[in-house]
Amino acid sequence: MYSPGPRLETVNAFATIDELEAALREASYLPERGLSTALFLSLALEKPVLLEGEAGVGKTEAAKALARARGARLIRLQCYEGLDVAHAVYEWNYPRQLLHIRAAQEGTVSDAELFGREFLIRRPLLEALEADEPVVLLIDEIDRADEEFEAFLLEMLSDFQITIPELGTVRARRRPSVVLTSNRTRELHDALKRRCLFHWIGHPTIEREIAIVRLRVPGVPERLAAEAATFVRGLRALDLAKPPGVAETIDWAQALAALGREELDAEVVESTLGSVLKYREDFEAVRDGVLLALVAEARAGR
Amino acid sequence: MTVSSWRSSPRHALAADALVRHVVTFGRVLREVGIEAGPGRISDALAGLDRVELASADDVYYTLRQTLVARHDELELFDRAFAAWFLRAPVRPPGRALPPPPRSRQQLARPSNEAAPSAPEHDGEGSRHELGSSPHELLREKDFAAMTPDEFDRARALIAQIAATRPLRRSRRLRAHPRGDRLDLRRLMRESLATGGDPVERAFRRRRDVPRRLVLLCDVSGSMEAYTRALLLFVHAVLGTGPGVEAFAFGTRLSCLTGDLTTRNPERALERAAAAVNDWGSGTRIGASLKEFNDVYGRRALSRGAVIVIVSDGWERQENSTLGREMARLARAAYAVVWVNPLKGSPEYQPLAGGMRAALPFVDRFLAGHNVRSLEELATVLAGIERRHAA
């Protein structure tokens, strides 16, 4: 009744890692070699890729960039505790069903009619399976979902099909490329990990971080980008509750550029540090401690 | 490709079968250092290598790493194995393969009778033999440190029985329930088909209670050994109640016990943990260990909404400001903090030790845990624990 044939096809438009890397760069994302390798293999082997790393190192951004680079549609499922099938896969449109029954007057609505496709609300996973165009499915922060959902996801990722009791089995028309991200709030189940390629994203090197800032903050003075990146690198070496990620460096550089700054000084750092350090303890420790030394280091380019 | 041509071009163009052999052997090397690289992963690695430029060491490295390793904490082991196998670098054997120092093994195997401080003479009505045949009641009251090996064996069975109950939290998932508080629209819709769209029978769902995450941090320094063994048996039993239990051991450092405890004999796991986290003679660093927990695991939100149980005598060998600060961080993230201090079993005990004093303001429940009865109390507290501080 409702199952388009198993016409699984992924077109890997990239013959080599270098080609993919160039496309990502085109899409305003500067990947390190390990990440490009992971994304390349994910496309080549048609396996989901699991990206882990500290908050703010660009895990989610990598998936978005992959979608842009492939000219694919990005479908994102944000995970949270208690995420269930109704929010991840599909739900029935109850108000419409009710109206439909009322409109039919005679009470002769059949089960098949009531649970037909026009009453189906597609959530991200179903949408990714049914899409006709190429899709990058981003399952963001999978570690936040509970373990029951992980088990469900495992099943979906192995067969790329979902069973809706009232409709039958929906098979993927084309296999979406799947990117999962995790902040490691908990260790994921081994079976799920076995399905995935695994890549750990660390903080970028200072040269790469400067390049990222210059790419993402158009018009940022070169000197400011370098000083901001150096300053943030200094922060990461400290013992902070939440070391800043690349995302914070970008935010900060944006703020500094918006203020028309050409370079760092203690005053502007203190007034904008809130966009880099999100914990009060961290903020105070740096403000009252090493701020001046870090500014001096950043200005000296060390 | 023949052996001679392989020699003539060692860098690129590995023959397919040579490559397969290479990777399969590497898989065996990985399994030896404790990384599980099954046939599925090996075949992924080979498929991946087929698609990348073999002349690029980086690409080969990442391809193998991404297909063969699934855990962040295995990356270092992998790097060492990779260096040893593919780069032929001389390496030291990985740290975790080192046997524990013999002294720890001996110390932890059995608490010697001399090690039992102030064995409560009054509850021993006669020789140890008579005690051994005394009813469970007596055994339940007996301080772990004063138990003979026989008694401890019997206490073990009691401990395993206690641990079955766990604190619950409300899940966001809904289950059909006759007295639920939400309408089950899907069922309602189906059932109202028969009545022309009028919902005659109402179907309900309600939220389900699921076990709250439980995190145990056990002090395994020398002064705690008799109690730690008992508590760890308790932890082992709790781990058996389902997912969401994490256990850590600390001394001078912190080490995660969860994996070890679920797969191994708990007492062997304890020996290994004690060997791993104790620098003999340097004393316990509770504050530093908690800091490590907050930094590494707390940052991954392991403590968020969890019930945290710290088992320690509170003897901090360093200044107490770190301990106070880290307890505050922990208490902010946790649902509730329970401190189990075996010394509290003694009626004269006062929490005067600086470390204990610094920690207490952040503790929701302060318990003893020095005998089987007090473990029962711990289990009861855990089953019904409420957050003391509203913040």
Q: Which A-chain residues 69-98 have CB contacts (< 8 A) with chain B?
A: 81-84, 92, 94, 97-98
Instruction: State the residue for tokens 């992998």.
Output: B78
Is B197's CB within 8 Å of A101's CB? yes
Q: Structure tokens of A93?
A: 């449109």
Question: Is A103 in the B-facing interface, judged by CB distances under 8 Å?
Answer: no
- B171 chain-A contacts, CB cut-off 8 A: 82, 146
| % residues pLDDT > 70 (chain B) | 69
Distance from CA of A238 to the nearest CA of B (A): 12
Distance from CA of B386 to the nearest CA of A (A): 21
Q: Structure tokens of A294?
A: 């870090």
Instruction: Kindly identify which residue of chain A lies nearest to residue B188, measuring between CA atoms.
Output: A94
What is the mean predicted confidence (pLDDT) over B146-174? 69
pLDDT band at B170 (very low <50, low <70, confident <90, very high): low
The pLDDT score that the predictor gives to residue A38 is 96
| pLDDT tens, position by position, A127-170 | 999 999 999 999 999 988 888 888 889 888 888 888 888 888 88
The pLDDT score that the predictor gives to residue B13 is 47
The pLDDT score that the predictor gives to residue B169 is 59
Residues of chain A with pLDDT under 70: 1-12, 105-107, 302
Task: Kindly list the distances between the CA atom of residue A295 and the CA atoms of A237, A286, A290, A291, A299, in Å, as whole numbers in the listed order.
Answer: 14, 11, 9, 6, 6
Is A82's CB within 8 Å of B172's CB? yes
pLDDT at B292 over 70: yes
In chain A, count of helices (H) and strands (E)? 15, 9
Buried b (16+ CB within 10 A) or exposed e, B259-276: ebbeeeebeebbbbbbbb
| pLDDT tens, position by position, B333-386 | 888 899 988 888 777 777 767 788 888 888 888 888 888 888 877 877 777 666
Q: Which B-chain residues 35-94 have CB contacts (< 8 A) with chain A?
A: 36, 38, 40-41, 44, 47-48, 51-53, 58-59, 62-63, 65-67, 69-72, 75
- Could you give the dihedral angle defined by the CA atoms of residues B36, B42, B47 and B48, in that order, rounded to the nearest 10 degrees? 40
| pLDDT tens, position by position, B107-142 | 333 333 433 333 333 443 333 333 333 456 677 777
**Does residue B218 sit in helix, strand or coil?**
strand
- Do strands B245-250 and B214-219 pair parallel, antiparallel, or not at all (unpaired)? parallel
The pLDDT score that the predictor gives to residue B279 is 61
Which residue of B51, B62, B192 is in closest CB contact with A38?
B62
Q: Which domains does chain B have, with CATH numbers?
A: 3-97 (no CATH), 100-167+212-391 (3.40.50.410), 172-210 (no CATH)
| % residues pLDDT > 90 (chain B) | 5
Which residue of B62, B197, B210 is in closest CB contact with A98?
B197
- A14, A18, A37, A242: which to substitute to probe chain B, counting the most B Cβ within 10 Å? A37
Task: Kindly list the distances between the CA atom of residue B49 and the CA atoms of B30, B44, B202, in Å, as whole numbers in the listed order.
Answer: 17, 9, 59
Distance from CA of A224 to the nearest CA of B (A): 30
Is residue A300 classed exposed, middle or buried when 0-12, 13-18 and 19+ CB atoms within 10 A define those classes?
exposed
| pLDDT tens, position by position, B207-226 | 666 677 888 898 887 777 77
Is A183's CB within 8 Å of B70's CB? no
